[in-house]
Structure 1
Amino acid sequence: MENITCACGHSNPYGTKLCEKCGRPLTEEEKQNKVVDMRYDGTAIRSKTYNKSIIDKIWNFFSSVKVGISLIIITLVTASLGTLLPQEMYVNAPDAVKPAYYEKVYGWFGKFYNNLGLSDLYSSWWFQIIVGMLGVSIIIASLDRGIPLYKSLKNQRVKRHESFMKRQRIVAEGQVTASPDEVLDKVEKKMKEMKYNVRRDGSALLAERGRFSRFGPYINHVGLILFLAGVMLRLVPGFYVDESIVVREGETRAITGMDGYFIENRDFILETHNNTPQGEQLKQGVNVVAKNFQTDITLYKQPEGAIAGDTSNLEKVKDYSIRVNHPLKEKGFALYQMGYRLDELKQMNFALKNKETGQSLGEVGIDLTNPEKEYDLGNGISIKLLVYTPDFSGFDNGAPQTASSAPNNPAFLFKMITPQTPEGETSFVEIQNTIEPLGYNQYEMKFAGIETRDSTTITIRKDRTIPILFVGGIIFMIGVAIGSYWNHRRLWLQVEPDGRVVMAAHVNKNMFSMKKDLDAVTEYAGLPQYTDQLDTIAEDEENASNGNKEEKGDNTL
């Protein structure tokens, strides 16, 4: 597309509305306007100029303010849907049973919510696409308008054509008795006193203040882009970790998210306030308030080159007591004390007995965290553990099911082998219940006692995106402040040798501040009184409307 050559001889890019040099209107639309549109000083905006290629159409789509606002609304609405029910990351259950958890706890709505993928909303691909489209919209809209605005303000001329001056909102025209240099000197002095930057070109003057305020919205955009980048970086491995592990007393576990690090729970300590009134007996779980609960741990690290999961040659890093609001910090990670469980089942003891005589053939102790497959009692007597369900929840097609990996309701399928029953007898044993699926057994596994221990829940967190989110938020607020509390004021003044003065002024907002400065400089330099063309236009439209009403009334009479 060809450039547009103005009457002054300056060649302007295609799509320019006001000549970059003299300010003459270049389009028929601008020539008909009594007050010119000064949002971008008449420069060419790509989205309003080109619309032929596929790149132009994509650019124009994302640069649209309507599209940007729509994406913001869609993002806010979809993000709010993720708060209706807890997200999967906060559900303390194995991944395999999380869908059943939503249905069990929240009914049909929970099942529907999970099936729609809302239970893992913020990590879903479609939500990230929406956030990405919003970021692209902000970037393209900023480039589309910010760059032309910056160029137009940087290259603006002091001298402007009268057609440009007379199409500003604030205009003044008249005669002065003083010499042109004296008038310009007074105006320059007064405007500098009011903190304006003043430039002169012969008999013309341009006073400008607060240009930076025009870039407040674009500073907002930079802050938003950084904030969105921080949000999306949480999906990149190494930037954000929020995991939880349950560590039982005496247990050493790998720390999720911290490769090569292990934690040993040496002891769990619970201190309580006794709020029981005097004379009343303290009951379990009643009137008991935790004063402090902490986990005494030892942090280990694998040596370099060790196989993942190998705990044979761990190197001790430190001992620490993790308490509420006193996390262990290591290599950018923070380990928080988040919860605990008292008297969790550790081991169940069973005695193999003859059902008729009651004779005991020996006892076995089954570690509920890591049970063995077979227990040898000697003399040809052994117990095989065929199936172990830590949290027995019933049968599905004859197979026992577990609701979780925690030993809340352990159940066992034993095969008991003795010299009298070399083929073995099968028995399914759960708490207070024994099932003999293959018929009557001669022997049984009789409950003989339990061992318990405390467990603690440790949350591992690492967030490298916080500085990015913080900086983005600060930049956004700076942009809001700049766009809200400052404005861009400009005054053009041209004095002819015969004393004729043409003056124009523009402000992007808060016209009262501009008029206040104009009143001061007009009085000081003896300039002609200015007029607000928007007020004049409004009066003309009101008079025309009243005239039409009177004319209709005369016709009626």
Structure 2
Amino acid sequence: MPDASKKQGLWNQVADFFGSLKLALVLLLALAAASIIGTVLPQGESLAFYEAHYTPNSYKLIHFFRLYDAYHSFWFLWLLLLLTVNLVVCSLRRLPAVWKVAKAAPRTVTERLFDTLPFHRILTFSSPIPEGRVRLTQLLGRRFGRPRPLPVPDGEAFYLERWRFSRFGVYLVHFSVLILLAGGITSSLYGFKGFLELAEGEKADRIYAQDGKSFQKLGFQVELKKFTMALYPDGTPKEYRSDLLFTDGDGKSLEAAVKVNHPFTHNGFTFYQSSWSRVPQSLRLRLENEQQRLEVALGMEERVPLPGTPYSLKVVRYIEDMARFGPALGLVLFDNQGHMDMGLILINHPEFHGNRIKDYRLRVLDLKTRYVSGLQVNRDPGIGFIWVGASLMLLGFLSTFYLSHRQIWVWFRERKDPADRLLTEVYIGATAHKHREAFFRILERSLQGIEGGRS
């Protein structure tokens, strides 16, 4: 017995801890702090971005705690799990008492019952019981539910109730929160957020995560058919749009347009218009030094040998506007020993003294560019949980804050007045577990509609 008592005591302590209001408040404050971090600190950038923009110590904290992706971090997942346990324990400990009250039969009708109810009235009718019962049951039944007869020692009695289920409104809210947490945990464990850059005419069947290493296969192919941009009179972008073609493994295809704030979802992946850029489609360069002059044609990321030299050239970067000097190209010159020289040339300023690499002066003879659409791609398997949880939470709030379990007892008894005339006395009592004053006002107005009665 002592061992059993100790185990029971330990279990109660554990249940008290996980079901405490203090723990719930701490977890909610921690989740609020996490939301602030996720809002203030840029999310989804590369680790190089955080290393470049924050101090070494701050970068270490960001990297260790995965603050760059706070909502998918291990500690955020543990906060959600602890809040789930807290809600479950709280609900299970309090639900039996509420269930017992909600399932209890109506209290027995006696004169003492009406003295203990917060609302009680006595009406007198000059008509016999059947006539008064019909009038009163019709009047109350329209507003407060179907009358149910109750056993009484004399006369007749009935009971009305409405919205018994409202006692469980708070548990519906708890259940909705659990569903929302399940959605968050599902998204954290199985969701994926990546980025996809497509030039017009390009196709892809996978997306890469923010670290640039891990990737997610789409299970279908997406092609950028066309990228269009609308501009304001001053030349700034007004709207940009990607016309995409989705092709499934069975050959079925679907065209869709993705614009800013107008995403499109295909097979569980949602495509958002995130950014745009331009890259060289074709390029002709002139390279010259004191001994020779060369002209080469090449494309982006294409390594081309320079005739008559031990060198090859590659375009590795295109900048739309370099410090307000217009577009610029980043170039790498390779020798046959694997050594590299790098340079950055201004396309619209051929006279710029920095337009050179090794001993070559460079000049862009012709440049054609094409648009590249930057698409953010998300897969969120928890979104169904979110919709269901949000809907149930709305119903739970409506039940909790706007409805109450309303109960009415009515007892008809006959007696004779001093003139030996038959009268009917009607005892009316009512209660509600919430919003009593509003309920009693409605009931008073309903009783005033009975002719021939008096309080």
**Is the shorter-chain TM-score for this pair beyond 0.5, marking a shared fold?**
yes
Residue 97 of structure 1: how far off its partner (Å): 1.1
CA pair 182-152 structure 1, distance change in 2 beyond 3 A: farther
Residue 345 of structure 1: how far off its partner (Å): 7.9
CA distance in 2, matches of 1:319, 1:503: 68
Q: 1:359 is matched with which residue?
A: 292
CA pair 514-119 structure 1, distance change in 2 beyond 3 A: same
The one-character-per-residue Cα deviations of 1:76-125 (angstroms, maximum 9, x if unpaired) are 3321232113212xx3xxx341322432xxx7997587355433211111
CA pair 194-270 structure 1, distance change in 2 beyond 3 A: closer
Q: 1:396 is matched with which residue?
A: none
CA distance in 2, matches of 1:189, 1:317: 63
The one-character-per-residue Cα deviations of 1:141-162 (angstroms, maximum 9, x if unpaired) are 3333334323332232442788
CA pair 111-433 structure 1, distance change in 2 beyond 3 A: farther
Matched, 1:220 2:173: yes
Q: Is the 8 A contact 2:129 2:413 kept in 1?
A: yes
Matched, 1:211 2:168: no
Residue 446 of structure 1: how far off its partner (Å): 4.3
Q: 1:195 is matched with which residue?
A: 144
Q: 2:27 is matched with which residue?
A: 71
Matched, 1:146 2:95: yes
Residue 246 of structure 1: how far off its partner (Å): 1.7
Q: Is the 8 A contact 2:109 2:150 kept in 1?
A: no
CA pair 76-173 structure 1, distance change in 2 beyond 3 A: same
Q: Is the 8 A contact 2:225 2:243 kept in 1?
A: yes
Q: Is the 8 A contact 1:495 1:502 kept in 2?
A: yes
Residue 430 of structure 1: how far off its partner (Å): 0.8
In the alignment, residue 430 of structure 1 is paired with which amino acid? G
Q: Matches of residues 34-45 of structure 1 in structure 2 within 5 Å?
A: none
Q: 1:307 is matched with which residue?
A: none
CA distance in 2, matches of 1:127, 1:87: 14
SS of the equivalent of 2:310 reads strand
CA distance in 2, matches of 1:328, 1:172: 63
* Unpaired stretches in structure 1, ≥5 consecutive residues: 2-49, 276-286, 304-314, 393-406, 417-423, 437-443, 530-557
CA distance in 1, matches of 2:134, 2:229: 81
CA pair 58-493 structure 1, distance change in 2 beyond 3 A: farther
In the alignment, residue 198 of structure 1 is paired with which amino acid? R
Q: 2:267 is matched with which residue?
A: 331
Matched, 1:119 2:68: yes
Q: 1:245 aligns with which of 188, 196, 201?
A: 196
Q: 1:309 is matched with which residue?
A: none
Q: Matches of residues 518-557 of structure 1 in structure 2 within 5 Å?
A: none
The one-character-per-residue Cα deviations of 1:25-68 (angstroms, maximum 9, x if unpaired) are xxxxxxxxxxxxxxxxxxxxxxxxx9934443333334334443
CA distance in 1, matches of 2:263, 2:449: 68
CA distance in 1, matches of 2:396, 2:132: 38
Q: 1:484 is matched with which residue?
A: 401
CA distance in 2, matches of 1:519, 1:268: 67
Q: Is the 8 A contact 1:102 1:114 kept in 2?
A: no
SS of the equivalent of 1:259 reads strand
TM-score normalised per structure 1: 0.58
Q: 1:132 aligns with which of 67, 78, 81?
A: 81
CA distance in 2, matches of 1:255, 1:209: 56
Q: 2:374 aligns with which of 454, 457, 461?
A: 457
Q: Does 328-337 or 488-497 show the bigger shift?
A: 488-497
Q: 2:220 aligns with which of 246, 261, 286?
A: 261
Matched, 1:447 2:362: yes
User: Identity of aligned pairs, percent?
Assistant: 19
Structure with the largest fraction of strand: 2
Q: Is the 8 A contact 2:413 2:426 kept in 1?
A: yes
Q: Matches of residues 397-546 of structure 1 in structure 2 within 5 Å?
A: 410-412=330-332, 414-415=334-335, 428-431=341-344, 432=354, 444-449=359-364, 451-454=367-370, 455-492=372-409, 505-516=430-441, 517=443
CA pair 140-67 structure 1, distance change in 2 beyond 3 A: same
What is the aligned residue count?
411
Q: Is the 8 A contact 1:217 1:480 kept in 2?
A: yes
CA-atom RMSD in angstroms: 4.9
* Unpaired stretches in structure 2, ≥5 consecutive residues: 208-215, 320-326, 345-353, 417-424
CA distance in 1, matches of 2:57, 2:338: 46
In the alignment, residue 433 of structure 2 is paired with which amino acid? N
SS of the equivalent of 2:40 reads coil
CA pair 207-265 structure 1, distance change in 2 beyond 3 A: closer
Q: 1:340 is matched with which residue?
A: 276
- Greater Rg over alpha carbons, structure: 1
Q: Is the 8 A contact 2:205 2:220 kept in 1?
A: yes
Q: 1:552 is matched with which residue?
A: none
Matched, 1:97 2:25: no
Residue 358 of structure 1: how far off its partner (Å): 1.8
Q: 2:185 is matched with which residue?
A: 232
TM-score normalised per structure 2: 0.69
Q: Is the 8 A contact 2:162 2:407 kept in 1?
A: yes
CA pair 528-201 structure 1, distance change in 2 beyond 3 A: farther
Q: Is the 8 A contact 1:199 1:207 kept in 2?
A: no
SS of the equivalent of 1:253 reads strand
Residue 451 of structure 1: how far off its partner (Å): 3.7
CA pair 222-435 structure 1, distance change in 2 beyond 3 A: same
Matched, 1:56 2:12: yes
CA pair 165-69 structure 1, distance change in 2 beyond 3 A: farther
Q: Does 520-529 or 156-165 show the bigger shift?
A: 520-529
Q: 1:4 is matched with which residue?
A: none
Q: 2:235 is matched with which residue?
A: 288
CA pair 495-296 structure 1, distance change in 2 beyond 3 A: closer
CA distance in 2, matches of 1:119, 1:479: 35
CA pair 55-199 structure 1, distance change in 2 beyond 3 A: farther
